[in-house]
């Protein structure tokens, strides 16, 4: 959940670390800090608050050196303050580290170290690792059985075997001024390879512009970085030959451009990102979709008799759309499971059940654990993922990349529509293998090709969304209601509003309103009805009229030219009319914009909502 950056080479490191932390801030923004090793001394600067406040501190109190580490924090253990900010020192200051993850047995280790005389200055679990490393270095020196680099590698290995939980670590030792050590279990780390310099980061975004060669560290691996050399050791298997991959990302991909917030930029990128998700994936001759990375034969795919989609948050909502799509077009029984629940359950699944893990980051801890559990039981396990080289992408049996580019805003927008696009393609693919006719497949392809332009048209509702936001931004409760394909859209709209504006919102199937939620309806509680034309349009209109009868304000998301809804609703946001199964791609646009403008009017930090981080890499 936190962000780690590290550098060793020939450049002054301070600005590299600060710039990297700015790019990683979406992973955590409670506090930030850097440490620089120069002349056998560790210089430390850290501060609660945003990275820009740390930047101000280091401009006033600069650090000189060409080797250092940095961290931006999402608090797990200990409140948000300067002391609990990373980096942390161990022993008498001879060890310095940054940590992403959770150490589950930290309390026991802390007591044992306190009994040995180690003094703790923070409430974090991470400080335990720093002191434990200091203790192991001291013990090995006294034993005299290792020296030089081997001493510190052995100390790290001795420390890591005592930890229970997850970690991504970058470590400096005062007495080893030409080496930077990193290690991971469960928390991602990427190493960037430059000319006589090396970088390390929690993800690839800080590396763009510095290098286009990266190594993705795997669990239980320790890397030893110097200016001109990279060594990787597996805890059990010994030396590992680094697998160098090309980083297909530019620094400009993570820049704001002319937009005031990343979230708005990413909302307006959706015509392009949806097109990217479809590019090269149509086979017009066969009226089907094409995927190059499923890694299963046609015979194996035809044997699939059940699909389980597992995900968290927004990705779970995309999965719910996917359930409707797969069952309608492919006639495959499909279930959507919260990954946080699936990892601890033992549901009956036949040997022909296929698992899809849906994730933007590819590092979500619960989704990764659920995928590993299903894979352990022998099920074909694939990923729908946006981040190349992520843990889930590498560990899945196969999968589909979204190609949406970096998503910096914490509230997911373009990843959601890209996931829904890929799931639509997947439903077409399985449908054509089973029951879907050639003409039906051709119609789906034709309709999908029109979607980027129609999303472009939908974005023209931005001004109307601003108007509606200005009318309702002081409300404390919202209801979001939709049916069939638009029920997941209602859930996603409610989540977006909660995430960035801190307004209580609930999403429901419109017909379920009478079974409890209607008790919440009053003159101060707006109801957002997602009601484009569909087979049960009259039913949704009936639900809408029930809210109006109780004087509840109604905001409707409706198809252009729908005069009836304009007579009933207090406010209408019109979107292009599309096939029912494609409505989530269009109807989600005004809900994203509405939540954005409400949050701005309420003075909220749209891209950095409180208590949240982009990638949930801890349980």
Q: For the stretch 518-557, what's the b/e string if a residue is b when 16 or more beta carbons lie within 10 angstroms of its beta carbon?
A: beebeeebbbbbbbbebeebeebbebbebbeeeebbbbbb
Give the number of other CB atoms < 10 A from CB of residue 272: 15
**100 by DSSP, 3-state: which?**
strand
By the 10 Å C-beta count (0-12 exposed, 13-18 middle, 19+ buried), 447 is classed as: middle
- HSE (CB half, 13 Å, CA atoms) of 269? 29
**390 by DSSP, 3-state: which?**
coil
Alpha helices in 229-362 (DSSP H): 262-268, 270-278, 298-302, 313-329, 339-342
Name the residue with tokens 């304009």: 566
Q: Return the closest-CA partner of residue 2 out of 93, 104, 125, 160.
A: 125
Q: Return the closest-CA partner of residue 338 out of 321, 324, 317.
A: 317
**3-state DSSP helix/strand/coil % of the chain, to nearest 5:** 40, 25, 35
Q: Which residues contact 514 (CB under 8 A, 6 or more apart)?
A: 543, 546
**Number of helices and strands in the chain (H, E):** 19, 27
Identify whether the C-beta of residue 279 lies closer than 8 Å to the C-beta of residue 449: no
- Does residue 342 have a cis peptide bond before it, meaning omega lies within 30 degrees of 0? no
Task: Give me Rg for the CA atoms of the chain.
Answer: 26
Identify whether the C-beta of residue 187 lies closer than 8 Å to the C-beta of residue 202: yes
Task: Report the distance separating Cα 4 and Cα 73, nearest Å.
Answer: 9
- The H or E element spanning position 591 is helix 583-601
Name the residue with tokens 């995927």: 291
Q: Which residues contact 187 (CB under 8 A, 6 or more apart)?
A: 100, 101, 166, 167, 168, 202, 363, 617, 618
Query: Annotated catalytic, 2?
Result: yes
- The Cα-based distances of 431 to 288, 448, 543, 552 in angstroms read 8, 15, 33, 42
Per-position DSSP letters for 165-221, written without gaps between them:
B-EEEEEEETT-TT-EEEEEEBS--EEEEETTEEEEESSSGGGTTT-SEEEEPPTTE
> Dihedral angle at the C-alpha atoms of 71, 75, 76, 80, nearest 10 degrees?
120
Strands 306-311 and 353-359: parallel
Query: Annotated catalytic, 471?
Result: no
Task: Report the distance separating Cα 193 and Cα 212, nearest Å.
Answer: 8
Alpha helices in 330-407 (DSSP H): 339-342, 365-376, 391-395
Which residue in 2, 374, 385, 465 is the catalytic one? 2
Quick one: tokens of 321? Answer: 């759309």
Which residue in 46, 265, 498, 614 is the catalytic one? 614
**Which residues carry out catalysis?**
2, 614
């Amino acid at each position: 959940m936190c962000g780690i950056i590290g550098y060793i080479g020939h450049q002054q490191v301070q600005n590299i670390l600060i710039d990297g932390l700015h790019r990683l801030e979406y992973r955590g923004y409670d506090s930030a800090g850097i440490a620089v090793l120069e002349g056998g001394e560790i210089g430390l600067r850290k501060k609660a608050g945003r990275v820009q406040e740390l930047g101000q501190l280091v401009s006033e109190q600069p650090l000189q050196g060409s080797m250092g580490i940095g961290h931006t924090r999402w608090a797990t253990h200990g409140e948000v303050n300067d002391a609990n900010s990373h980096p942390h020192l161990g022993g008498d200051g001879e060890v310095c580290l940054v940590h992403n993850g959770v150490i589950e047995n930290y309390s026991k280790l802390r007591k044992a170290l306190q009994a040995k005389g180690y003094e703790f200055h923070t409430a974090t679990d991470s400080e335990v690792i720093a002191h434990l490393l200091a203790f192991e270095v001291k013990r090995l020196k006294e034993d005299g059985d290792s020296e030089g680099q081997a001493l510190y590698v052995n100390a790290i290995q001795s420390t890591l075997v005592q930890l229970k939980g997850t970690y991504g670590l970058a470590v400096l030792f005062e007495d080893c001024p030409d080496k930077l050590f990193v290690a991971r279990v469960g928390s991602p780390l990427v190493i960037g390879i430059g000319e006589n310099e090396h970088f390390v980061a929690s993800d690839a975004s800080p590396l763009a512009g510095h290098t286009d060669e990266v190594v993705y560290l795997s669990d239980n691996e320790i890397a030893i970085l110097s200016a001109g050399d990279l060594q990787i050791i597996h805890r059990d298997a010994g030396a590992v030959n680094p697998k160098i991959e090309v980083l297909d990302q530019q620094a400009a991909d993570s820049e704001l451009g002319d937009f005031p917030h990343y979230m708005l930029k990413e909302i307006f990128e959706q015509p392009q990102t949806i097109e990217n998700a479809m590019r090269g994936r149509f086979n017009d001759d066969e009226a089907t979709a094409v995927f190059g990375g499923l890694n299963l034969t046609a015979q194996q795919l035809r044997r699939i008799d059940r699909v389980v989609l597992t995900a968290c948050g927004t990705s779970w909502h995309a999965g719910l759309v996917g359930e409707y799509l797969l069952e309608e077009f492919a006639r495959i029984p499909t279930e959507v499971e919260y990954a946080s629940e699936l990892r601890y359950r033992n549901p009956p699944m036949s040997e022909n059940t296929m698992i899809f893990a849906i994730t933007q980051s590819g590092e979500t801890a619960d989704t990764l654990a659920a995928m590993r559990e299903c894979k352990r039981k022998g099920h074909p396990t694939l990923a729908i993922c946006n981040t190349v080289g992520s843990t889930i992408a590498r560990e899945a049996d196969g999968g589909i990349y979204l190609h949406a580019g970096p998503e910096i805003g914490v509230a997911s927008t373009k990843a959601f529509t890209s996931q829904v696009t890929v799931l639509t393609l997947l439903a077409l693919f399985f449908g054509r293998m089973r029951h879907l006719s050639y003409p039906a497949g051709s119609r789906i392809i034709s309709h999908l090709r029109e979607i980027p332009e129609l999303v472009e048209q939908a974005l023209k509702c931005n001004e109307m969304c601003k108007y509606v936001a200005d009318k309702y931004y002081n409300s404390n409760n919202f209801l979001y209601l939709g049916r069939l394909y638009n029920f997941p859209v209602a859930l996603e709209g409610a989540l977006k509003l909660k995430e960035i504006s801190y307004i209580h919102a609930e999403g429901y199937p419109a017909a379920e309103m009478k079974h409890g939620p209607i008790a919440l309806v009053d003159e101060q509680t707006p109801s957002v009805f997602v009601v484009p034309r569909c087979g049960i349009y009259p039913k949704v209109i009936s639900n809408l009229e029930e809210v109006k009868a109780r004087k509840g304000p109604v905001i409707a998301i409706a198809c252009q030219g729908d005069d009836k809804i304009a007579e009933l609703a207090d406010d209408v946001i019109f979107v292009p009319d599309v096939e029912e199964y494609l409505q989530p791609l269009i109807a989600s646009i005004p809900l994203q914009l509405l939540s954005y403008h409400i949050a701005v009017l309420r003075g909220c930090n749209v891209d950095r909502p409180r208590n949240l981080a982009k990638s949930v890499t801890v349980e």
